[in-house]
Structure 1
Amino acid sequence: MSVAAWSGSLLAWERELAALKDRLGLAVRRRELRESIGHYLDGLLSGLERKTGWLLAERAGEARPHRLQAVLGRGRWDAEAARDLVRTYAVEALADRDAVLVVDETGFIKKGEHSVGVARQYSGTAGRIENSQVGVFLAYASRYGQALIDRRLFLPEAWAADRARRAKAGVPEEVTFATKPAIARDMIATALDAGLPCAFVLADALYGSDKRLRVMLEGRGQPYVLAVRSNERLMTAEGSCATRDAAKIAAALPASAWHRHAAGEGAKGPRLYDWARIRLLRLQQPPWDHWLLVRRSRRDASDQAYYVVFAPMETTLAELAGVAGLRWTIETCFGTAKEELGLDHCEARSWDGWHRHMTLCMTALAFLARLRAELIRGAAGKPNETSPGAVAVAA
């Protein structure tokens, strides 16, 4: 690209960021606070290794961090309204009829016991039980990229029942204990109610094993490919009406049932696995069908993953393999947001502070996703047809 082209791109990106700040400002009344939020966003997008209040303030030319800390603390602004604005912004850039929603959690290792929701609990980030916070997130992904569009802090049961700790951390009265799958159901329903173009909903086994999520999606006519555990009890359309573990159903499949398909592109080319599916006995009616989908490693036949599928009857095995492989997109979001945007650098201890920091990190990630989507469309000679107002998404 020529110097002039690069210069033009930088100017366009600066204008895009300014427009995004203006849009985010709709959730903020005071001009000074809008400016501070803009500085906070600039800091998240900067090359600062740590996105602490002091370092963000220093980058913004502030002698002390109070104004930047007010963004997460005493400043008055609506993080839920901002979340909706960010969701709309991201979907405008990424919307596609083949797009997917992906739900997953990520952990934030913490010291001490004062940060809201912190407890000794399993953290997938650490791969073990750690003193940590856990957030449930929702991502939107398409051929143009991916972005986080919702977030909710998981409040352990002991925290939810402790009125003194709740009050100190500013946990709203209406927030009660909810399991992670229950949080996921609510987030997914909110996104679908907003009218996002969505071909499939994806999740790992913690969420995929939640039958209430599956029933909710089926009632909406929303296709899904949800991972389940090997001991998930299922009833196949062939043979007896007895239920069997997913692993035992897979073990009984003949060699002819397995076919090699790609689960998307990896760093070294297509990620190839052996796949099989078998129809499940459910009360489905056309045009819908249910399957158990099984993924098997080419190197180790005992390394298998299992999915329950609800999809149109004409959906092919190759299509389901490709869709199942899209669950990694939320991991890409977590990686980028933590490594580059300070998702795990939150210093606030309060409920509002946590959700505000996550919302602004989501804003920064959505901005990067939009730039990438424009480059992809530009390389393909396809302009963005989802300009503001073109996608029916509630803000």
Structure 2
Amino acid sequence: MARGVLPEESTKELSELIDVLIPLFFESLPRRDQRNWARVYLNGLVSTEGKKTIRNIAGAGASSVEQSLQQFISKSPWDWTPVRRSLAQHLERTAQRPLAWVVRPMVIEKAGDRSVGVGRQFVPQLGRTANCQQAGGIWLASSEASFPVEWTLTLPGPWTSELLRRRRAGIPDTARSLTPSQDAVHAVQRMAATWQLQRRPVVMEVGNSELPGTIDALGVQDIPFVLKVDGSLPVAFGGSGRHKPGFHLAPARELIDSLRSQRRVVEWTRHGRTEGAVTLLTSATILGTHCEERSGPPHPPLLLIGAWTEATLLPSEFWITNIGDRPLAQLFLLAKLTDRVQLDFAEVCEPVGIRDFEGRSFRGWHHHATLASVAHAATLLSARRRSESSLRAGTGTLDPGAYGSRRTGPVLPPRPLIPGQSARRASIR
């Protein structure tokens, strides 16, 4: 989706859908004028050309509109949590059934130092130090579409320890300086405890040093997870593969590679594409990770999953999960929902301006992120409506880029010849 103006017909349909969604999601806003400014802002996010700043949304010469939007976004004390919760509950009821809650980091590079949460910090996603904000979205994701419903904004130490800076940005007294992963896990815990959603597996990438804390935090609430880890992670396991019976400790990559003779071929369709892909999978039960320092009882055994692509001689991707009752192919599908989220982030969430907030307040950033999430949902739901209308009209065709579009079966590459591989072949559709 281009970052520009939608066709007039699509814009009209989106505006009509936004009118329907306002009373559903913004019922918690106490005043009618607040709900009206939410409508103005949402229409601006889906129809304004270029960067979705308050000034651009207000339009040239509309200083009174700009001032009112500034008040509504950056200063008005409305609570964004009920809006996000209503959005998530509505999507769970009416959209494609979500398969997982996917955590996606978001980095917003900045030139100055006054935007809330900005600072020079090392960013794993960039592989370098950058002057930026680090945020994270929690997405309800299926194989057909994904929707951000909750956001976190990581606050480096100075933003919580320096009283003047904290007051200027309006940072709540309860906010603490945590890592992006810790912020995301706490948000997931709140969603699981208070949002009245059906609990789904959490899919996210976790660094080696933060893995034990993440496993414990999710495990204490019985939240299922599929965590992407680095192949260098030391894991503890019993005798497996080339290892004799007994307790062993080795990098995840070494353990998975020792089980290469047990690999299964999995066929699947990459998100947003029609061509098929082939991946080789195997797994091993592990007892824990070497970096754990636990005072409580040991957690139940976990499953380590490893994947090879056709072009790699060594396993290239690794996940740890506490889900032991699903086929390996289904767990791989859950893990790859991160690709679905990445696609929708680039094609929908960025065009509606998720990175574009230029204010300096903590409240303003969260208000903007909330409204961008609603605009994202409205865009995809409107596309689905158009597709369904097209089918009802008897055209029998669908926009291939529309939410919910049906695809023909994947065109799969030839099956690779693997010595010792069984004839059984898993398949994901």
* TM-score range normalised by the length of the shorter chain: 0.7 to 0.9
Partner residue in 2 for 1:35: 36
Task: Kindly indicate whether residue 365 of structure 2 is the aligned counterpart of residue 360 of structure 1.
Answer: no
With 181-190 and 191-200 compared, the bigger mean Cα shift is at 191-200
Match in the other structure for 1:258? 263
Distance in 2 (CA, whole Å) between partners of 1:208 and 1:139 is: 24
Deviation track 1:341-366 (CA, whole Å, cap 9, x = no partner) reads 01111011110011111111011112
Kindly state the Cα deviation for residue 281 of structure 1 after the two structures are TM-superposed: 3.5
> Is 1:248 the equivalent of 2:254?
yes
Alpha-carbon distance in 2 for matches of 1:274, 1:112: 46
8 Å contact kept, 1:57–1:65: yes
Partner of 1:307: 319
CA distance in 2, matches of 1:209, 1:260: 31
Of Structure 1 and Structure 2, the greater helix share is in: 1
Query: Does structure 2 conserve the Cα–Cα contact (< 8 Å) formed by 1:263 and 1:326?
Result: no
- CA distance in 2 between partners of 1:23 and 1:57 (Å): 24
**Cα distance change of structure 1 residues 19 and 62 upon mapping to structure 2, 3 Å threshold:** farther
Secondary structure at the aligned position of 2:134 is classed as: strand
Gap change, CA 1:379 and 1:294, over 3 Å in 2: farther
Please say if residues 257 and 314 of structure 2, whose CA atoms lie closer than 8 Å, have aligned partners that are also in contact: no
**Does the C-alpha gap of structure 1 residues 207 and 290 become closer, same or farther in structure 2, counting only changes over 3 Å?**
same
Q: Post-superposition shift, 1:54? A: 1.7
* TM-score normalised by length of structure 1: 0.83
Tell me which residue corresponds to 2:204: 203
Taking a change above 3 Å as real, the CA distance of residues 184 and 264 of structure 1, as seen in their structure-2 partners, is farther
* Conservation of the 8 A alpha-carbon contact between 1:100 and 1:140: yes
State whether structure 2 residue 155 is matched by structure 1 residue 155. Answer: yes
The answer to whether the Cα contact below 8 Å between 2:284 and 2:304 also exists between their aligned partners in 1 is: yes
260 and 377 in structure 1: CA distance in 2 versus 1, 3 angstrom threshold: farther
d(CA) in 2 for partners of 1:34, 1:275: 50
| TM-score, normalization by structure 2 | 0.77
The runs of 5 or more residues in structure 1 that have no matched partner are: 1-6, 382-395
2:404 alignment partner in structure 1 = none
Quickly say closer, same or farther: Cα 1:137–1:161, change in 2 above 3 A.
same
Paired position in structure 2 for 1:54: 55
Partners in 1 of 2:323 and 2:52 — Cα distance?
Answer: 43
Q: Secondary structure at the match of 1:359?
A: helix
- Greater mean alpha carbon deviation, residues 118-127 or residues 291-300: 118-127
Q: Which runs of 5+ in 2 are unaligned?
A: 1-7, 240-244, 289-297, 393-429
Q: Distance in 2 between matches of 1:235 and 1:327?
A: 27
**Aligned mates of 1:142, 1:212 — CA distance in 2:** 27
- Does the residue aligned with 1:131 lie in a helix, a strand or coil? strand
C-alpha spacing 1:201/1:356, structure 2 compared with 1 (3 Å)? same
1-structure distance, mates of 2:11, 2:56:
24
Number of residue pairs the alignment of both structures matches? 370
Letter in 2 for 1:20: L
- Following the alignment from structure 2 to structure 1, what is the Cα–Cα distance between the partners of residues 152 and 144? 25
The corresponding residue for 2:306 is 294
Paired with 2:185 and 2:63, the residues of 1 have a C-alpha distance of 42
- 8 Å CA contact retained: 1:94, 1:141: no
Q: Secondary structure in 1 aligned to 2:114?
A: coil
SS at 2:78 equivalent: coil
Structure 2 distance, partners of 1:246, 1:223, is: 21
Classify 1:124/1:69 alpha carbon distance in 2 versus 1 (closer, same or farther; 3 Å). farther
Question: Which aligned pairs between 1:47-126 and structure 2 lie closer than 5 A?
Answer: 47-58=48-59, 65-94=66-95, 96=97, 99-123=99-123, 126=126
Contact 1:104 1:138 in 2 (8 A): yes
Q: Which amino acid aligns with 1:196?
A: L
Residue 275 of structure 1 aligns with which residue? Answer: 281
Amino acid across the alignment from 2:249: T
User: Paired residue for 1:234?
Assistant: 235
Query: CA 1:111 to 1:14, structure 2 compared with 1: closer, same or farther past 3 Å?
Result: closer
- Shifted more, 339-348 versus 299-308: the winner is 299-308
* Percentage identity across paired residues of the two chains: 21
Partner Cα separation in structure 1 for residue 218 and residue 359 of structure 2: 35
CA RMSD of aligned residues (A): 3.0
Task: Judge conservation of contact 1:99–1:197 (CA < 8 Å) in 2.
Answer: no
- Distance in 2, matches of 1:321 and 1:302, equals 17
Deviation of the 1:337 alpha carbon: 4.6
Q: Which moved more, 1:272-281 or 1:366-375?
A: 366-375
Instruction: State the match for 2:409 in structure 1.
Output: none
Mapped contact 2:231–2:251 kept (Cα < 8 A): yes
